[in-house]
């Protein structure tokens, strides 16, 4: 399968990227297959700032991939981030799907595992084994604890409760609604599991012959000017081959940096490697340096990573909820920030009833803005959790995503039309609904204040009856 050419992150509004695995499932369904797709889950992420660092914090370190080390600042961060996603993440997925031994009967796609492999390869996310106080399923993992050197990435999981298909003579699309209630907050931790199957298993190697992303060549002209040179785990057949910088791996036993060493042992030209063990949550301390520039980062060894959507695994936190939304509204959750949304779908085999949850795509909610001192940050949305005890107001977010399905790999065209089903009427309805909610909250607040006043009067009344002269003076 050809690696899709994507556009840079837009300078305004959000940018959504769909994974090729999801496109394949959609093509099967459009071809009247025995499968069904339902958008089911979403996750809110706080993608770290983009920065080249030697501090071992979990920044997005785009030049931590060896043949991306020569980032020279000639492009914007919106372009560099899109290039990394296209040339590493989406190209790896294309290589997996193009494998002659790929088993298309397996409902689980590699998209989510590839996405988290990309995040860990640029130093953005790390993990540890779950503790017995966090889940009874000790085969699971969580992100590293919050510290000066680590800020957790996954903040919230929710259910997509509304799917709708809009049919119009000139346009047909699917819309989904994502809602984060005002009472919701960030989970104390998110559980992860590792998944291996015939298409993505320990020790697998994916190699391509060309330096370009799959299906592209020297004549390929990217419509947005992005690079089409693939980013690999191993670009060359030798650790000491010509690179922009020398590779180093830290040896804990001697506390020294060993040159021409990396996280894998045997390099192979133009290749991606899956870890030999999908249950090792330890980190490798790595460095690339050319004398003028140095990047040091921690790279997690965990692989085959997927979010754990099994509610029973969260029972040690609270076993009295029936959905992730209820969990998010519990007293254990807190305020948080987010800048990215992962959208998931369930694919169901109608013949067997088997179901798998797969990553459909990633939505970057805003563009990357330059930061002082170099680097960039994706603008963050603040999520405040309402507190009925302190009276703190919370805020809610509602997003409507429209998906137009097209058989072309290129970006689908935009069709505008006006009919009785239009965004103006929906916006007016949402305004009325939001105002009704505000009135309800205000009414509840007044009732609460009146109850407090009544309670205080009830406390004063016996005192006033005991001292009638006080009542006389007051009159």
Which pLDDT belongs to residue 350? 87
pLDDT band at 26 (very low <50, low <70, confident <90, very high): confident
- Helix, strand, or coil here: 156? strand
Which pLDDT belongs to residue 441? 63
**Strand-pair partners of 285:** 298
Which pLDDT belongs to residue 424? 45
Of 174-188, 213-227, 396-410, 411-425, which gets the smallest average pLDDT? 411-425
Which pLDDT belongs to residue 135? 92
Assess whether pLDDT exceeds 70 at residue 470: no
Which pLDDT belongs to residue 421? 43
pLDDT band at 460 (very low <50, low <70, confident <90, very high): confident
Contact 214, 231 (CB under 8 A): no
First and final CA of the chain: distance in angstroms? 89
Residue 63, both tokens: 């030049």
Radius of gyration for the chain, computed over Cα atoms and rounded to the nearest angstrom: 26
Of 408-417, 436-445, 447-456, which gets the smallest average pLDDT? 408-417
**Strand-pair partners of 127:** 143
Residue among 446, 389, 451, 361 nearest 26 (CA):
361
Residue 309, both tokens: 């959507």
Mean pLDDT of 398-403: 85
pLDDT band at 408 (very low <50, low <70, confident <90, very high): very low
Assess whether pLDDT exceeds 80 at residue 344: yes
- Stretch (H or E) spanning 91: helix 91-97
What's the sign of the alpha-carbon dihedral 116, 179, 174, 195? positive
Assess whether pLDDT exceeds 50 at residue 420: no
- Residue 426 CB contacts under 8 Å (≥ 6 apart), including other chains: 400
pLDDT band at 406 (very low <50, low <70, confident <90, very high): low
pLDDT band at 434 (very low <50, low <70, confident <90, very high): low
pLDDT band at 429 (very low <50, low <70, confident <90, very high): low
Assess whether pLDDT exceeds 60 at residue 409: no
Residue 430, both tokens: 């949402």
Exposed, middle or buried, 465 (CB in 10 Å: 0-12/13-18/19+)? exposed
Give the DSSP letter of residue 214: T
Higher-pLDDT residue of 241 and 383 is: 383
b/e per residue, 268-277, with b = 16+ CB within 10 A?
bebbbbbbee
**Strand-pair partners of 165:** 174
pLDDT in tens, 274-324: 999 999 999 999 999 988 899 999 999 999 999 999 999 998 776 778 888
Residue 164, both tokens: 């709708």
Instruction: Give the span between the Cα atoms of 236 and 155, in whole angstroms.
Output: 37
- Stretch (H or E) spanning 466: helix 423-466
Q: Residue 461 to residues 330, 451, 452, 453, 474: CA-CA distances in angstroms?
A: 38, 15, 14, 12, 13
Residue among 232, 244, 255, 257 nearest 293 (CA):
244
């Amino acid at each position: 399968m050809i690696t899709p050419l994507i556009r840079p992150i837009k300078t305004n509004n959000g940018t959504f990227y769909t994974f090729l695995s999801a496109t394949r499932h959609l093509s099967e369904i459009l071809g009247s297959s025995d499968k069904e797709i339902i958008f089911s889950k979403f996750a809110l992420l706080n993608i770290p700032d983009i920065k080249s660092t030697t501090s071992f914090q979990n920044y997005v370190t785009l030049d931590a991939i060896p043949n991306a080390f020569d980032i020279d600042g000639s492009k914007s961060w919106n372009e560099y981030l899109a290039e990394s996603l296209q040339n590493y993440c989406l190209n790896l997925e294309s290589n997996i799907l193009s494998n002659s031994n790929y088993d298309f009967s397996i409902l689980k796609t590699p998209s989510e595992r590839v996405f988290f492999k990309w995040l860990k390869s640029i130093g953005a996310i790390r993990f540890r084994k779950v503790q017995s106080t966090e889940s009874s399923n000790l085969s699971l993992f969580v992100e590293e604890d919050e510290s000066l050197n680590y800020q957790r990435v996954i903040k919230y999981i929710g259910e997509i409760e509304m799917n709708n298909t809009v049919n119009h003579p000139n346009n047909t699309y699917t819309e989904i609604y994502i809602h984060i209630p005002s009472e919701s907050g960030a989970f104390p931790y998110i559980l992860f599991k590792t998944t291996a199957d015939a298409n993505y298993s320990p020790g697998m190697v994916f190699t391509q012959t060309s330096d370009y992303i799959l299906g592209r060549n020297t004549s390929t002209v990217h419509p947005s000017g992005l690079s089409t040179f693939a980013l690999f785990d191993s670009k060359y057949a030798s650790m000491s081959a010509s690179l922009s910088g020398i590779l180093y791996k830290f040896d804990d036993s001697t506390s020294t940096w060993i040159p021409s060493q990396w996280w894998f042992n045997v390099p192979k030209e133009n290749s991606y490697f899956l870890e030999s063990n999908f249950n090792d949550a330890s980190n490798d301390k790595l460095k690339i340096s050319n004398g003028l520039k140095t990047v040091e980062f921690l790279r997690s060894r965990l692989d085959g990573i997927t979010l754990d959507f099994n509610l029973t695994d969260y029972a040690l936190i609270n076993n009295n909820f029936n959905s992730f939304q209820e969990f998010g509204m519990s007293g254990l959750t807190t305020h948080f920030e987010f800048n990215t949304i992962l959208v998931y779908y369930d694919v169901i085999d109608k013949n067997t009833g088997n179901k798998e949850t797969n990553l459909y795509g990633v939505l970057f909610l805003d563009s990357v803005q330059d930061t002082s001192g170099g680097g960039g940050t994706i603008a963050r949305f603040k999520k405040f959790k309402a507190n009925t005890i302190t009276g703190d107001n919370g805020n809610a977010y509602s997003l409507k995503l429209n998906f137009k399905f097209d058989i072309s790999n290129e970006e689908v065209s935009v069709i505008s039309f006006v009919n009785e089903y239009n965004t103006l009427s929906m916006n007016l309805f949402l305004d009325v609904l939001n105002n009704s909610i505000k009135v309800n909250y205000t009414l509840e607040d007044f009732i609460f204040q009146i109850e407090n006043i009544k309670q205080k009067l009830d406390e004063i009344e016996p005192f006033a009856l005991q001292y009638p002269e006080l009542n006389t003076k007051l009159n």
